[in-house]
A and B are shown apart, each in its own frame.
Chain A
Amino acid sequence: MKLDNITYTYSPGTVYEMHAIQGVNLDIDQGEFIGIIGHTGSGKSTLIQHFNGLMKPTSGKVLYEGKDIWQEGYNLKSLRSNVGLVFQYPEHQLFEVDVFTDVCFGPKNQGLSKDEIEGRAREALEHVGLAEDMYKKSPFDLSGGQKRRVAIAGVLAMNPKVLILDEPTAGLDPKGRDEIFDQIQSLREKRGITVILVSHSMEDVARYVGRMIVMNHGQVAFDGVPREVFTHYRELEAMGLAAPQITYIMHALKYRGLDVDTQAITIEEAKKSILQALGER
Protein backbone atom coordinates (compact mmCIF):
# COMPACT_ATOMS: atom_id res chain seq x y z
CA MET A 1 0.00 0.00 0.00
CA LYS A 2 1.36 3.37 -0.88
CA LEU A 3 0.39 6.99 -0.40
CA ASP A 4 2.09 9.20 -2.92
CA ASN A 5 2.36 12.84 -1.87
CA ILE A 6 -1.27 13.19 -0.83
CA THR A 7 -2.94 16.37 0.33
CA TYR A 8 -6.43 16.78 1.66
CA THR A 9 -8.23 20.07 2.13
CA TYR A 10 -11.61 20.36 3.82
CA SER A 11 -14.03 22.85 2.22
CA PRO A 12 -11.55 24.24 -0.30
CA GLY A 13 -12.17 27.76 -1.51
CA THR A 14 -14.28 28.88 1.46
CA VAL A 15 -13.50 30.59 4.73
CA TYR A 16 -13.70 27.18 6.37
CA GLU A 17 -10.75 25.93 4.32
CA MET A 18 -8.60 23.55 6.34
CA HIS A 19 -5.51 21.72 5.12
CA ALA A 20 -5.86 18.54 7.13
CA ILE A 21 -3.14 16.59 5.27
CA GLN A 22 -0.17 18.10 3.48
CA GLY A 23 2.18 16.12 1.28
CA VAL A 24 2.19 12.75 2.99
CA ASN A 25 4.26 9.90 1.51
CA LEU A 26 3.95 6.44 3.02
CA ASP A 27 4.93 2.95 1.96
CA ILE A 28 3.31 0.14 3.86
CA ASP A 29 4.23 -3.52 3.40
CA GLN A 30 1.97 -6.51 3.97
CA GLY A 31 2.23 -7.79 7.53
CA GLU A 32 3.54 -4.61 9.15
CA PHE A 33 2.20 -3.43 12.50
CA ILE A 34 2.09 0.33 12.37
CA GLY A 35 1.14 2.90 14.95
CA ILE A 36 0.03 6.37 13.96
CA ILE A 37 0.36 8.96 16.67
CA GLY A 38 -0.35 12.65 16.77
CA HIS A 39 -2.07 15.24 18.89
CA THR A 40 -5.77 16.05 18.52
CA GLY A 41 -6.51 17.48 15.10
CA SER A 42 -3.21 16.47 13.53
CA GLY A 43 -5.00 14.67 10.71
CA LYS A 44 -4.84 11.02 11.77
CA SER A 45 -8.48 10.19 11.15
CA THR A 46 -8.41 12.05 7.87
CA LEU A 47 -5.29 10.20 6.78
CA ILE A 48 -6.55 6.69 7.42
CA GLN A 49 -9.76 7.27 5.47
CA HIS A 50 -7.61 7.57 2.36
CA PHE A 51 -6.42 3.98 2.65
CA ASN A 52 -9.78 2.45 1.75
CA GLY A 53 -11.03 5.13 -0.59
CA LEU A 54 -13.55 6.80 1.70
CA MET A 55 -11.85 10.10 1.03
CA LYS A 56 -10.40 11.20 -2.23
CA PRO A 57 -7.15 13.12 -1.85
CA THR A 58 -7.26 16.70 -3.10
CA SER A 59 -3.97 15.92 -4.80
CA GLY A 60 -1.65 12.92 -4.89
CA LYS A 61 -2.19 9.22 -5.44
CA VAL A 62 -3.27 6.26 -3.33
CA LEU A 63 -2.00 2.90 -4.52
CA TYR A 64 -3.11 -0.52 -3.33
CA GLU A 65 -1.16 -3.54 -4.58
CA GLY A 66 0.40 -1.28 -7.16
CA LYS A 67 -2.85 0.06 -8.61
CA ASP A 68 -4.13 3.62 -8.36
CA ILE A 69 -7.45 3.32 -6.52
CA TRP A 70 -8.86 6.49 -8.06
CA GLN A 71 -8.27 5.27 -11.57
CA GLU A 72 -11.35 4.99 -13.79
CA GLY A 73 -13.06 1.62 -13.27
CA TYR A 74 -11.22 0.59 -10.09
CA ASN A 75 -13.37 -1.62 -7.88
CA LEU A 76 -13.58 0.36 -4.65
CA LYS A 77 -15.95 -2.16 -3.11
CA SER A 78 -13.40 -4.93 -3.27
CA LEU A 79 -10.76 -2.55 -1.93
CA ARG A 80 -12.99 -1.88 1.07
CA SER A 81 -13.36 -5.56 1.81
CA ASN A 82 -9.58 -5.94 1.69
CA VAL A 83 -8.88 -2.87 3.79
CA GLY A 84 -11.09 -2.95 6.89
CA LEU A 85 -11.51 0.30 8.75
CA VAL A 86 -12.76 0.57 12.32
CA PHE A 87 -13.75 4.15 13.06
CA GLN A 88 -13.28 6.15 16.21
CA TYR A 89 -16.19 5.24 18.51
CA PRO A 90 -17.36 2.46 16.19
CA GLU A 91 -20.15 1.50 18.59
CA HIS A 92 -22.21 4.32 17.10
CA GLN A 93 -22.62 2.39 13.87
CA LEU A 94 -24.44 -0.62 15.32
CA PHE A 95 -27.99 -0.97 14.07
CA GLU A 96 -29.19 -4.57 13.91
CA VAL A 97 -31.61 -6.35 16.24
CA ASP A 98 -28.94 -8.54 17.74
CA VAL A 99 -25.18 -8.73 18.02
CA PHE A 100 -24.76 -11.67 15.69
CA THR A 101 -26.79 -10.18 12.82
CA ASP A 102 -24.89 -6.94 13.12
CA VAL A 103 -21.56 -8.69 12.71
CA CYS A 104 -23.02 -10.51 9.69
CA PHE A 105 -23.67 -7.20 7.91
CA GLY A 106 -20.16 -6.89 6.46
CA PRO A 107 -19.74 -10.41 5.06
CA LYS A 108 -23.33 -10.28 3.76
CA ASN A 109 -22.41 -7.26 1.69
CA GLN A 110 -19.51 -9.24 0.28
CA GLY A 111 -22.05 -11.62 -1.21
CA LEU A 112 -20.98 -14.78 0.61
CA SER A 113 -23.14 -17.84 1.27
CA LYS A 114 -25.14 -18.06 4.47
CA ASP A 115 -22.90 -20.70 6.06
CA GLU A 116 -19.80 -18.75 5.26
CA ILE A 117 -21.29 -15.53 6.66
CA GLU A 118 -22.19 -17.18 9.94
CA GLY A 119 -18.86 -18.96 10.17
CA ARG A 120 -17.02 -15.69 9.74
CA ALA A 121 -19.19 -13.85 12.23
CA ARG A 122 -18.66 -16.56 14.82
CA GLU A 123 -14.93 -16.52 14.28
CA ALA A 124 -14.76 -12.73 14.50
CA LEU A 125 -16.78 -12.63 17.70
CA GLU A 126 -14.53 -15.26 19.21
CA HIS A 127 -11.49 -13.22 18.26
CA VAL A 128 -12.71 -10.20 20.16
CA GLY A 129 -13.58 -12.37 23.13
CA LEU A 130 -17.36 -12.16 23.21
CA ALA A 131 -19.12 -15.18 24.69
CA GLU A 132 -21.90 -17.12 22.91
CA ASP A 133 -24.59 -15.95 25.28
CA MET A 134 -24.11 -12.40 23.98
CA TYR A 135 -24.89 -13.27 20.36
CA LYS A 136 -28.63 -12.85 20.64
CA LYS A 137 -28.59 -9.72 22.77
CA SER A 138 -29.53 -6.35 21.37
CA PRO A 139 -26.34 -4.38 20.69
CA PHE A 140 -27.88 -1.44 22.51
CA ASP A 141 -28.09 -3.38 25.77
CA LEU A 142 -24.34 -3.90 25.98
CA SER A 143 -21.75 -1.92 27.86
CA GLY A 144 -19.52 0.52 26.00
CA GLY A 145 -16.59 -1.88 25.87
CA GLN A 146 -18.73 -4.75 24.67
CA LYS A 147 -20.24 -2.58 21.95
CA ARG A 148 -16.76 -1.64 20.85
CA ARG A 149 -15.88 -5.31 20.52
CA VAL A 150 -18.98 -6.03 18.49
CA ALA A 151 -18.12 -3.19 16.14
CA ILE A 152 -14.56 -4.39 15.73
CA ALA A 153 -15.85 -7.91 15.07
CA GLY A 154 -18.13 -6.43 12.41
CA VAL A 155 -15.08 -5.35 10.45
CA LEU A 156 -13.02 -8.46 11.25
CA ALA A 157 -15.76 -10.66 9.85
CA MET A 158 -14.99 -9.26 6.42
CA ASN A 159 -11.58 -10.95 6.62
CA PRO A 160 -9.60 -7.88 5.59
CA LYS A 161 -5.95 -8.14 4.62
CA VAL A 162 -5.32 -4.76 6.18
CA LEU A 163 -6.97 -3.74 9.42
CA ILE A 164 -7.04 -0.09 10.37
CA LEU A 165 -8.25 0.91 13.83
CA ASP A 166 -8.87 4.51 14.86
CA GLU A 167 -8.33 4.76 18.62
CA PRO A 168 -9.85 1.36 19.33
CA THR A 169 -9.37 1.77 23.06
CA ALA A 170 -10.47 5.36 23.66
CA GLY A 171 -12.60 5.45 26.78
CA LEU A 172 -11.92 1.88 27.90
CA ASP A 173 -10.48 0.78 31.22
CA PRO A 174 -6.85 -0.44 31.33
CA LYS A 175 -7.88 -4.09 31.41
CA GLY A 176 -10.23 -3.77 28.44
CA ARG A 177 -7.55 -1.84 26.64
CA ASP A 178 -4.91 -4.51 27.12
CA GLU A 179 -7.35 -7.21 26.10
CA ILE A 180 -8.22 -5.50 22.86
CA PHE A 181 -4.57 -4.85 22.03
CA ASP A 182 -3.65 -8.45 22.81
CA GLN A 183 -6.47 -9.70 20.60
CA ILE A 184 -5.34 -7.49 17.75
CA GLN A 185 -1.78 -8.69 18.20
CA SER A 186 -2.74 -12.37 18.19
CA LEU A 187 -4.97 -11.82 15.19
CA ARG A 188 -2.09 -10.31 13.30
CA GLU A 189 0.14 -13.23 14.09
CA LYS A 190 -2.51 -15.76 13.12
CA ARG A 191 -3.68 -14.24 9.89
CA GLY A 192 -0.57 -12.33 8.86
CA ILE A 193 -2.57 -9.17 8.23
CA THR A 194 -1.29 -5.63 8.22
CA VAL A 195 -2.48 -3.61 11.19
CA ILE A 196 -2.52 0.16 11.37
CA LEU A 197 -3.33 1.50 14.79
CA VAL A 198 -4.18 5.11 15.55
CA SER A 199 -3.64 6.10 19.14
CA HIS A 200 -2.83 8.90 21.53
CA SER A 201 -0.93 6.75 23.94
CA MET A 202 2.77 6.32 23.31
CA GLU A 203 3.01 3.55 25.86
CA ASP A 204 0.42 1.40 24.09
CA VAL A 205 1.88 1.96 20.70
CA ALA A 206 5.44 1.36 21.87
CA ARG A 207 4.52 -2.00 23.31
CA TYR A 208 2.99 -3.47 20.20
CA VAL A 209 4.00 -1.81 16.97
CA GLY A 210 7.07 -2.32 14.86
CA ARG A 211 6.90 1.02 13.14
CA MET A 212 5.64 4.32 14.33
CA ILE A 213 4.43 7.30 12.34
CA VAL A 214 4.13 10.62 14.14
CA MET A 215 1.77 13.15 12.59
CA ASN A 216 2.03 16.86 13.23
CA HIS A 217 -0.14 19.50 11.52
CA GLY A 218 -1.06 17.14 8.71
CA GLN A 219 2.51 16.12 7.98
CA VAL A 220 4.61 13.12 8.89
CA ALA A 221 7.05 14.31 11.52
CA PHE A 222 8.77 11.01 12.29
CA ASP A 223 8.57 7.56 10.77
CA GLY A 224 10.58 4.70 12.18
CA VAL A 225 10.87 2.06 14.89
CA PRO A 226 9.52 3.32 18.23
CA ARG A 227 12.91 3.33 19.99
CA GLU A 228 14.38 5.54 17.37
CA VAL A 229 11.39 7.88 17.37
CA PHE A 230 11.51 8.24 21.15
CA THR A 231 15.07 9.53 21.03
CA HIS A 232 13.42 12.69 19.66
CA TYR A 233 11.45 13.05 22.86
CA ARG A 234 12.10 16.76 23.08
CA GLU A 235 10.62 17.37 19.64
CA LEU A 236 7.71 15.10 20.53
CA GLU A 237 7.04 17.24 23.55
CA ALA A 238 7.04 20.37 21.45
CA MET A 239 4.27 18.74 19.40
CA GLY A 240 2.16 18.21 22.47
CA LEU A 241 3.02 14.52 22.73
CA ALA A 242 5.15 12.69 25.23
CA ALA A 243 7.52 9.77 25.07
CA PRO A 244 6.84 6.83 27.42
CA GLN A 245 7.72 7.61 31.03
CA ILE A 246 10.49 5.04 30.90
CA THR A 247 12.29 7.15 28.33
CA TYR A 248 12.32 10.09 30.73
CA ILE A 249 13.57 7.99 33.64
CA MET A 250 16.32 6.47 31.57
CA HIS A 251 17.45 9.83 30.25
CA ALA A 252 17.44 11.26 33.76
CA LEU A 253 19.52 8.35 35.03
CA LYS A 254 21.97 8.73 32.23
CA TYR A 255 22.25 12.42 33.02
CA ARG A 256 23.08 11.57 36.61
CA GLY A 257 25.95 9.43 35.40
CA LEU A 258 24.44 5.93 35.32
CA ASP A 259 25.30 4.17 32.09
CA VAL A 260 21.88 2.88 31.06
CA ASP A 261 20.34 2.18 27.68
CA THR A 262 18.19 5.23 26.92
CA GLN A 263 16.33 3.37 24.17
CA ALA A 264 14.57 1.00 26.56
CA ILE A 265 10.80 1.34 26.27
CA THR A 266 9.29 -1.38 28.41
CA ILE A 267 9.62 -1.73 32.15
CA GLU A 268 11.37 -5.08 31.76
CA GLU A 269 14.01 -3.68 29.45
CA ALA A 270 14.56 -0.74 31.73
CA LYS A 271 14.90 -2.97 34.75
CA LYS A 272 17.48 -5.13 33.03
CA SER A 273 19.47 -2.17 31.83
CA ILE A 274 19.45 -0.48 35.23
CA LEU A 275 20.49 -3.62 37.08
CA GLN A 276 23.24 -4.17 34.58
CA ALA A 277 24.53 -0.62 34.97
CA LEU A 278 24.43 -0.92 38.77
CA GLY A 279 26.17 -4.29 38.65
CA GLU A 280 29.03 -2.87 36.65
CA ARG A 281 29.91 -0.47 39.40
Chain B
Amino acid sequence: MADTFSLSLKELAKRNKGLASGHRACAGCPFPAVVRMTLSASDFPVVVANATGCMEVTTSIFPYAAWPVPWIHSAFENAAATISGVEAAYKALVRKGEIPEQKKIKFIAFGGDGGTYDIGLQALSGAAERGHNFLYILYDNEGYMNTGIQRSSSTPYGASTTTSPAGKVVPGKMQHKKPIVDIMAAHGIPYVAQASVSHWNDYVKKVRKALSIEGPTFIAVYSPCVPGWGYPENKSIEMAKLAVETGFWPLYEVEYGFYKINYRPRNPLPIEEFLKSQTRFAHLLKKPEVVEGIREFIKERWDFLEFMATRKESRGLEENV
Protein backbone atom coordinates (compact mmCIF):
# COMPACT_ATOMS: atom_id res chain seq x y z
CA MET B 1 0.00 0.00 0.00
CA ALA B 2 2.77 2.35 -0.88
CA ASP B 3 1.66 5.85 -1.65
CA THR B 4 3.07 9.31 -1.45
CA PHE B 5 2.16 10.11 2.11
CA SER B 6 2.17 6.79 3.95
CA LEU B 7 4.93 5.90 6.34
CA SER B 8 5.60 2.30 7.28
CA LEU B 9 5.13 1.33 10.87
CA LYS B 10 8.79 0.33 10.86
CA GLU B 11 9.90 3.76 9.71
CA LEU B 12 7.56 5.46 12.14
CA ALA B 13 8.92 3.37 15.01
CA LYS B 14 12.46 4.16 13.93
CA ARG B 15 11.81 7.89 14.00
CA ASN B 16 10.03 7.59 17.34
CA LYS B 17 9.96 11.28 18.09
CA GLY B 18 7.57 12.09 20.89
CA LEU B 19 7.12 13.35 24.40
CA ALA B 20 9.75 12.39 26.93
CA SER B 21 8.64 9.92 29.53
CA GLY B 22 7.67 11.52 32.81
CA HIS B 23 5.04 13.83 31.34
CA ARG B 24 1.96 14.00 33.51
CA ALA B 25 -0.80 12.95 31.15
CA CYS B 26 -3.24 10.55 32.81
CA ALA B 27 -2.55 6.85 32.48
CA GLY B 28 -4.08 5.73 29.21
CA CYS B 29 -4.45 9.22 27.75
CA PRO B 30 -3.99 8.93 24.01
CA PHE B 31 -2.73 12.41 23.12
CA PRO B 32 0.90 11.49 23.80
CA ALA B 33 0.42 9.00 20.95
CA VAL B 34 -0.99 11.80 18.81
CA VAL B 35 2.10 13.89 19.52
CA ARG B 36 4.44 10.99 18.84
CA MET B 37 2.78 10.19 15.52
CA THR B 38 2.74 13.85 14.53
CA LEU B 39 6.37 14.59 15.27
CA SER B 40 7.53 11.28 13.81
CA ALA B 41 5.49 11.87 10.69
CA SER B 42 7.23 15.11 9.80
CA ASP B 43 10.18 15.05 7.42
CA PHE B 44 11.00 18.60 8.49
CA PRO B 45 11.96 20.24 11.76
CA VAL B 46 8.85 21.61 13.44
CA VAL B 47 8.00 24.37 15.88
CA VAL B 48 4.93 23.79 18.03
CA ALA B 49 2.47 26.22 19.60
CA ASN B 50 0.18 24.77 22.24
CA ALA B 51 -3.08 26.14 23.57
CA THR B 52 -3.68 26.00 27.30
CA GLY B 53 -5.28 22.67 28.18
CA CYS B 54 -4.36 19.15 29.22
CA MET B 55 -1.67 18.72 26.60
CA GLU B 56 0.09 21.93 27.55
CA VAL B 57 -0.26 21.49 31.27
CA THR B 58 0.92 17.90 31.46
CA THR B 59 3.95 18.32 29.21
CA SER B 60 5.48 21.54 30.45
CA ILE B 61 5.62 21.55 34.22
CA PHE B 62 8.67 23.64 34.99
CA PRO B 63 11.54 22.70 35.34
CA TYR B 64 10.70 19.61 33.26
CA ALA B 65 10.28 19.72 29.53
CA ALA B 66 8.67 16.87 27.63
CA TRP B 67 8.88 18.25 24.10
CA PRO B 68 11.80 17.37 21.83
CA VAL B 69 11.06 20.33 19.54
CA PRO B 70 10.80 24.11 20.09
CA TRP B 71 7.49 24.78 21.76
CA ILE B 72 5.56 27.87 22.77
CA HIS B 73 2.48 28.31 24.88
CA SER B 74 1.07 31.73 25.58
CA ALA B 75 -2.63 31.37 26.39
CA PHE B 76 -5.79 29.37 25.84
CA GLU B 77 -7.58 30.97 22.90
CA ASN B 78 -4.67 31.96 20.74
CA ALA B 79 -2.55 29.01 19.60
CA ALA B 80 -3.35 29.92 15.99
CA ALA B 81 -2.46 33.58 16.52
CA THR B 82 0.73 32.68 18.34
CA ILE B 83 1.87 30.33 15.59
CA SER B 84 0.95 33.09 13.06
CA GLY B 85 3.54 35.26 14.75
CA VAL B 86 6.15 32.52 14.78
CA GLU B 87 5.55 31.83 11.11
CA ALA B 88 5.61 35.55 10.27
CA ALA B 89 8.94 35.88 12.09
CA TYR B 90 10.31 32.94 10.12
CA LYS B 91 9.26 34.56 6.83
CA ALA B 92 10.74 37.91 7.82
CA LEU B 93 14.01 36.43 9.02
CA VAL B 94 14.38 34.34 5.86
CA ARG B 95 13.66 37.43 3.75
CA LYS B 96 16.27 39.39 5.66
CA GLY B 97 18.83 36.62 5.30
CA GLU B 98 18.94 35.81 9.02
CA ILE B 99 17.71 32.28 8.38
CA PRO B 100 18.96 30.45 5.26
CA GLU B 101 16.19 29.99 2.72
CA GLN B 102 16.81 26.28 2.33
CA LYS B 103 16.14 25.76 6.02
CA LYS B 104 12.55 24.60 5.89
CA ILE B 105 10.64 24.62 9.14
CA LYS B 106 7.06 23.47 9.63
CA PHE B 107 4.71 25.14 12.07
CA ILE B 108 2.17 23.16 14.05
CA ALA B 109 -0.39 24.35 16.59
CA PHE B 110 -2.11 21.95 18.97
CA GLY B 111 -5.35 22.84 20.67
CA GLY B 112 -8.03 20.95 22.55
CA ASP B 113 -11.67 21.22 21.55
CA GLY B 114 -12.26 24.09 23.97
CA GLY B 115 -9.29 25.95 22.56
CA THR B 116 -10.47 25.27 19.02
CA TYR B 117 -14.25 25.02 18.64
CA ASP B 118 -14.98 27.63 21.29
CA ILE B 119 -12.67 30.25 22.72
CA GLY B 120 -10.01 29.89 20.02
CA LEU B 121 -12.29 29.80 17.00
CA GLN B 122 -11.79 33.45 16.10
CA ALA B 123 -8.01 33.29 16.21
CA LEU B 124 -8.06 30.06 14.22
CA SER B 125 -10.43 31.49 11.64
CA GLY B 126 -8.27 34.60 11.31
CA ALA B 127 -5.04 32.67 10.91
CA ALA B 128 -6.62 30.35 8.34
CA GLU B 129 -8.02 33.28 6.38
CA ARG B 130 -4.67 35.07 6.36
CA GLY B 131 -3.10 31.98 4.84
CA HIS B 132 -0.24 31.38 7.23
CA ASN B 133 1.78 28.30 6.51
CA PHE B 134 0.81 26.12 9.45
CA LEU B 135 -0.92 22.92 10.45
CA TYR B 136 -3.47 23.20 13.22
CA ILE B 137 -4.15 19.95 15.03
CA LEU B 138 -7.24 19.74 17.17
CA TYR B 139 -7.07 16.87 19.62
CA ASP B 140 -10.72 16.37 20.31
CA ASN B 141 -11.57 14.86 23.68
CA GLU B 142 -15.04 16.39 23.62
CA GLY B 143 -14.81 18.56 26.68
CA TYR B 144 -12.80 20.99 28.77
CA MET B 145 -10.90 18.25 30.51
CA ASN B 146 -8.11 20.27 32.08
CA THR B 147 -10.56 22.24 34.19
CA GLY B 148 -12.54 19.19 35.21
CA ILE B 149 -14.75 17.96 32.38
CA GLN B 150 -17.00 20.83 31.35
CA ARG B 151 -19.05 20.87 28.18
CA SER B 152 -17.63 22.34 25.01
CA SER B 153 -19.36 22.78 21.68
CA SER B 154 -17.71 19.51 20.77
CA THR B 155 -19.30 17.54 23.59
CA PRO B 156 -21.79 15.06 22.09
CA TYR B 157 -25.53 15.36 22.51
CA GLY B 158 -26.63 13.65 25.68
CA ALA B 159 -23.20 13.50 27.32
CA SER B 160 -23.03 14.34 30.99
CA THR B 161 -20.32 16.82 31.94
CA THR B 162 -19.87 18.99 35.00
CA THR B 163 -21.59 21.91 33.25
CA SER B 164 -24.14 19.77 31.44
CA PRO B 165 -24.81 17.27 34.19
CA ALA B 166 -27.42 14.63 33.58
CA GLY B 167 -30.12 15.44 36.08
CA LYS B 168 -33.72 14.68 36.87
CA VAL B 169 -34.97 17.02 34.18
CA VAL B 170 -32.11 17.59 31.74
CA PRO B 171 -30.45 14.45 30.32
CA GLY B 172 -26.96 15.88 29.75
CA LYS B 173 -25.87 18.23 26.99
CA MET B 174 -28.74 19.22 24.74
CA GLN B 175 -26.82 20.34 21.67
CA HIS B 176 -25.04 18.32 19.02
CA LYS B 177 -21.34 18.61 18.20
CA LYS B 178 -20.41 21.55 16.04
CA PRO B 179 -19.07 20.43 12.64
CA ILE B 180 -15.66 21.98 13.11
CA VAL B 181 -14.01 20.24 10.17
CA ASP B 182 -16.63 21.54 7.79
CA ILE B 183 -16.36 24.99 9.34
CA MET B 184 -12.64 24.91 8.62
CA ALA B 185 -13.25 23.52 5.13
CA ALA B 186 -15.58 26.45 4.51
CA HIS B 187 -12.58 28.74 4.95
CA GLY B 188 -11.43 27.47 1.56
CA ILE B 189 -8.05 26.42 2.91
CA PRO B 190 -6.11 23.75 1.00
CA TYR B 191 -6.54 20.84 3.32
CA VAL B 192 -8.66 19.79 6.28
CA ALA B 193 -9.18 16.31 7.62
CA GLN B 194 -10.79 14.31 10.35
CA ALA B 195 -8.79 11.43 11.80
CA SER B 196 -8.64 9.26 14.87
CA VAL B 197 -5.83 8.25 17.16
CA SER B 198 -7.01 4.65 16.64
CA HIS B 199 -6.26 4.71 12.91
CA TRP B 200 -2.55 5.49 12.94
CA ASN B 201 -1.87 4.97 9.28
CA ASP B 202 -4.69 7.25 8.21
CA TYR B 203 -3.60 9.89 10.73
CA VAL B 204 0.07 9.81 9.81
CA LYS B 205 -0.81 10.08 6.14
CA LYS B 206 -2.99 13.06 6.84
CA VAL B 207 -0.30 14.80 8.83
CA ARG B 208 2.24 14.20 6.09
CA LYS B 209 -0.16 15.40 3.44
CA ALA B 210 -0.91 18.52 5.44
CA LEU B 211 2.77 19.23 5.99
CA SER B 212 3.46 18.88 2.27
CA ILE B 213 1.24 21.88 1.62
CA GLU B 214 2.19 25.54 1.76
CA GLY B 215 -0.69 27.23 3.49
CA PRO B 216 -3.07 26.67 6.36
CA THR B 217 -4.18 23.10 7.03
CA PHE B 218 -6.31 21.58 9.76
CA ILE B 219 -6.69 18.11 11.22
CA ALA B 220 -9.16 17.06 13.89
CA VAL B 221 -7.96 13.93 15.60
CA TYR B 222 -10.24 12.04 17.94
CA SER B 223 -8.58 11.60 21.32
CA PRO B 224 -10.68 9.92 24.03
CA CYS B 225 -10.36 10.92 27.67
CA VAL B 226 -10.24 8.32 30.44
CA PRO B 227 -11.58 10.39 33.35
CA GLY B 228 -13.77 12.64 31.21
CA TRP B 229 -15.62 9.86 29.43
CA GLY B 230 -15.42 7.22 32.12
CA TYR B 231 -13.92 4.01 30.74
CA PRO B 232 -10.98 1.81 31.85
CA GLU B 233 -7.57 3.29 31.14
CA ASN B 234 -6.52 0.52 28.78
CA LYS B 235 -9.42 1.24 26.44
CA SER B 236 -8.66 4.63 24.84
CA ILE B 237 -7.82 3.25 21.42
CA GLU B 238 -10.83 0.97 21.60
CA MET B 239 -13.08 3.94 22.35
CA ALA B 240 -11.70 5.83 19.39
CA LYS B 241 -12.18 2.78 17.19
CA LEU B 242 -15.76 2.39 18.37
CA ALA B 243 -16.47 6.00 17.46
CA VAL B 244 -15.26 5.31 13.94
CA GLU B 245 -16.96 1.91 13.59
CA THR B 246 -20.31 3.24 14.78
CA GLY B 247 -20.05 6.07 12.29
CA PHE B 248 -20.03 8.65 15.06
CA TRP B 249 -16.61 9.97 14.00
CA PRO B 250 -16.16 9.53 10.25
CA LEU B 251 -12.67 9.60 8.78
CA TYR B 252 -12.62 12.04 5.88
CA GLU B 253 -10.64 14.80 4.29
CA VAL B 254 -11.31 17.88 2.23
CA GLU B 255 -8.69 18.81 -0.32
CA TYR B 256 -9.15 22.20 -1.93
CA GLY B 257 -12.87 21.91 -1.27
CA PHE B 258 -13.25 18.32 -2.45
CA TYR B 259 -14.56 15.91 0.14
CA LYS B 260 -13.30 12.36 0.34
CA ILE B 261 -14.50 9.77 2.82
CA ASN B 262 -11.49 7.72 3.83
CA TYR B 263 -13.29 4.87 5.52
CA ARG B 264 -16.81 3.48 5.38
CA PRO B 265 -17.51 0.90 8.08
CA ARG B 266 -18.92 -2.04 6.14
CA ASN B 267 -21.31 -3.04 8.90
CA PRO B 268 -21.55 -0.03 11.19
CA LEU B 269 -21.89 -1.01 14.82
CA PRO B 270 -24.96 0.27 16.65
CA ILE B 271 -24.23 3.53 18.46
CA GLU B 272 -25.23 1.85 21.71
CA GLU B 273 -21.90 -0.01 21.60
CA PHE B 274 -20.13 3.31 21.93
CA LEU B 275 -22.52 4.84 24.42
CA LYS B 276 -22.75 1.96 26.84
CA SER B 277 -19.00 1.75 27.26
CA GLN B 278 -18.70 5.20 28.86
CA THR B 279 -20.12 6.58 32.08
CA ARG B 280 -20.78 10.00 30.52
CA PHE B 281 -23.61 8.32 28.59
CA ALA B 282 -24.72 5.92 31.34
CA HIS B 283 -27.93 7.83 32.01
CA LEU B 284 -29.01 7.39 28.38
CA LEU B 285 -29.93 3.75 28.94
CA LYS B 286 -33.22 5.11 30.24
CA LYS B 287 -33.46 7.79 27.56
CA PRO B 288 -34.05 6.06 24.23
CA GLU B 289 -35.21 9.35 22.68
CA VAL B 290 -31.81 10.90 23.30
CA VAL B 291 -30.08 7.87 21.81
CA GLU B 292 -32.41 8.26 18.84
CA GLY B 293 -31.25 11.86 18.54
CA ILE B 294 -27.64 10.73 18.36
CA ARG B 295 -28.55 8.15 15.73
CA GLU B 296 -30.24 10.83 13.64
CA PHE B 297 -27.23 13.09 14.02
CA ILE B 298 -24.97 10.33 12.70
CA LYS B 299 -27.26 9.74 9.76
CA GLU B 300 -27.41 13.42 8.90
CA ARG B 301 -23.64 13.71 9.11
CA TRP B 302 -23.18 10.78 6.77
CA ASP B 303 -25.82 12.03 4.33
CA PHE B 304 -23.97 15.33 4.23
CA LEU B 305 -20.56 13.72 3.76
CA GLU B 306 -21.77 11.30 1.08
CA PHE B 307 -23.41 14.17 -0.74
CA MET B 308 -20.28 16.30 -0.55
CA ALA B 309 -18.18 13.36 -1.69
CA THR B 310 -20.17 13.06 -4.90
CA ARG B 311 -18.21 16.03 -6.23
CA LYS B 312 -15.51 13.83 -7.55
CA GLU B 313 -12.55 15.62 -9.00
CA SER B 314 -9.55 16.51 -6.95
CA ARG B 315 -6.76 18.98 -7.51
CA GLY B 316 -3.46 17.29 -7.01
CA LEU B 317 -1.99 15.84 -3.81
CA GLU B 318 -2.02 12.55 -5.70
CA GLU B 319 -1.90 9.23 -4.03
CA ASN B 320 -3.41 5.82 -4.65
CA VAL B 321 -6.43 4.91 -2.73
Do A and B interact with each other, yes or no?
no
